[in-house]
Amino acid sequence: MQAFITLPGIGGSGDAHWQSHWERADKRFKRFEPTSWDMPDLSNWIGAVDNALLGDKDKSCACRPQPQLSPGRTLGSAVEDVGGGSLSRCAP
pTM as predicted: 0.65
Separation of alpha carbons 29 and 24, rounded Å: 8
Note the pLDDT tens digit of each residue in 13-39. Answer: 899 998 899 899 998 888 889 999 999
pLDDT of residue 67: 45
pLDDT of residue 15: 93
Domain boundaries, the chain: 3-88
Phi, psi of 76 (to 5 degrees): -60, -40
**Amino acid letter for position 55:** G
pLDDT of residue 37: 93
Domain 3-88 in CATH 3.40.50.1820? The answer is yes
Radius of gyration of the chain (CA): 13
Note the pLDDT tens digit of each residue in 47-88. Answer: 888 888 776 555 555 555 554 556 665 555 555 555 554 444
Separation of alpha carbons 56 and 86, rounded Å: 17
